[in-house]
Amino acid sequence: MDCERLVTQESHCFSCGSLNPADYAGLQTYDVIVELDGEPVHTIVDLRKFLYQQKEPGDEMVIDYYRSGEAQQVIVELTKQ
């Protein structure tokens, strides 16, 4: 991943509250999600489309994101809300 990408493209800034799936995955407020399973995420619409059209509860997913300018990655198992 490349920090320049954050400057040249819109990325989704994820806001997390406590006790939600993102919180359990270790994501924090102001983390910037840039990819889901290698697919670019530029907006919340991209994120929702990916989740609703390509994933189901129980699936694993790789989330690439930036926290404080540093690239991070986490693998999560999706759950039903």
Task: List the domain boundaries for the chain.
Answer: 3-76
Tell me if 63 sits within 8 A of 36, measured CB to CB: yes
pLDDT for position 20? 67
Q: Which two tokens stand for residue 18?
A: 């406590």
Q: Is the dihedral of CA 17, 18, 19, 24 positive or negative?
A: positive
pTM confidence score: 0.76
DSSP summary character for residue 33: E
For the chain, helix, strand, coil in percent to 5 are 25, 35, 40
Candidates 81, 70, 64; CA nearest to 14 is 64
pLDDT higher at 29 or 75: 75
Tell me the per-residue pLDDT of 10-57, one tens digit each, with 9 for 90 and over: 454 555 555 567 777 788 888 888 999 999 988 888 888 998 999 999
Mean pLDDT of 62-75: 92
Determine the topology of domain 3-76 in CATH.
Pdz3 Domain (2.30.42)
pLDDT for position 7? 35
pLDDT for position 1? 43
